[in-house]
Structure 1
């Protein structure tokens, strides 16, 4: 229902409660904290028209999503899980849920509401603010994971008897394969487009021969070369890693006209890449090579595949990638050549046990 205020409509939500919504071309719709002519509406409306951030100090409705999220962030259930970086990613997902349902009571949510929220999240959309596509099946799966934890905390507080996320149907793929693992053909195609001496090639060799996450790989520099080996601490799990320098990686470093003082790989301005900046640049370099489905993280999976195909043990693979558990390694080595591995395993078994050798 239109109002006398430009860009503002008022309609009942699924509970019959009236809510004001601000819509403007090129911007994400926003649910307002106040209804038209309520105290505080004018300041909020003017801030939205001017497209400037506004902090509205308003007590959360007791028992609401906003109330639960505030309590959750202060509890060990949230603060005790993962690194600061991991918590920031989780907080982003939870905040996106709170933004739409802050005043809704937790006790009013049923499995059907959760399913509707997750279905909406599977729809991909362009975010003009972030200049990227948002949503999709992976986004829905990640949101479900965080909502399950959030509502589990509500159950712990005895606000609800049952977790509606547990009862909700799985949305999208039941099992996501995650980032695509680079094949040898794709690696060769990338190398053909980005020869030695380019930053794009150096980035690939660093990722491929250190097996590290992009957040760590972008920081790899002269200070990490100790006694002819690579030594650094993985940011995610604090694993202290010592790795040999592969010849291909050494050639890629030596082929550069110049490298950074702190990190071998630098921007055109000579600065170390930010984590997101490096990911975006790899996206650009992959697109240039005709590999839009390949990502930086897929190279971490590629070295795990290579090691599995080379018959490395679980302990050896974990030692290179800094993985802690066997289940993590299983995810990364899933793309290994089953036929070749089976040939090797059966061949060794025949040599040892067969009567017809």
Structure 2
């Protein structure tokens, strides 16, 4: 167990697995309960619950954008995230091949990597179109070698870039922050579900809100997002 001291989550998972094996063996009398006890029960957990990822505020994002200059990967990653709210594993792979036109407007479409693998469609905001205008192939957010960042590397980079700006934050924190900021701009819960790629409300809601309506909601949401001065 000591070798996992640097990774509390892994240590706690190992403790849980060991405990389960001992309980199984004791319940089925593979071990004599008079001679053996579950040693994992005497080991305390390190992680005793947390509040999860920090939720970025609009001031956090503004500080980030003010600190990092235009034309940098640092700024591009943030702009793509703000305009798509994509999960990091999807954000890293977005590029021109995800673009399509509808009703005279440029849109993005991608299939979420995370189950249930929903297809996401969202209008490209002017800020995003301007930022990626020079990208003709590959992905929007790439290394100096032209390859996509891994989602773990991207998350670590963004945390570091927030630190450089003197504020706390992460990609997931920005995604969470959008869901907190948008209600103040008048966005409905359905619009936020569309943005984040979540299941839309209850079962009854899913029956009445068809895929075509998701596009209408996405269009409405894009107009609200344009009101934010990052």
TM-score normalized with structure 2 length: 0.68
Separation in 2 of the partners of 1:189 and 1:213?
A: 22
Secondary structure at the counterpart of residue 46 of structure 2: helix
Please point out which of 184, 187, 191 is paired with 2:58.
184
Secondary structure at the counterpart of residue 263 of structure 1: coil
In structure 1, what is the equivalent of residue 208 of structure 2?
Answer: none
Q: 1:314 to 1:194 in 2, by over 3 A?
A: same
Secondary structure at the counterpart of residue 104 of structure 1: helix
In structure 2, what is the equivalent of residue 205 of structure 1?
Answer: 79
1:268 counterpart = 2:147: no
Contact 1:260 1:266 survives alignment (8 Å): no
In structure 2, what is the equivalent of residue 97 of structure 1?
Answer: 15
| 1:105 positional shift | 3.8
Contact 1:259 1:266 survives alignment (8 Å): no
1:319 counterpart = 2:194: yes
Secondary structure at the counterpart of residue 121 of structure 1: coil
In structure 2, what is the equivalent of residue 233 of structure 1?
Answer: 111
Please point out which of 158, 162, 173 is paired with 1:286.
162
Q: Any unmatched runs of 5+ in structure 1?
A: 1-20, 30-91, 123-136, 142-175, 328-357
Cα RMSD, aligned residues only? 3.2
Contact 2:18 2:40 survives alignment (8 Å): no
Mean alpha-carbon deviation: is it higher for 212-221 or for 103-112?
103-112
Contact 2:141 2:148 survives alignment (8 Å): yes
Q: 1:182 to 1:103 in 2, by over 3 A?
A: closer
| 1:110 positional shift | 9.6
Please point out which of 304, 307, 323 is paired with 2:179.
304
Contact 2:85 2:195 survives alignment (8 Å): yes
Contact 1:260 1:271 survives alignment (8 Å): no
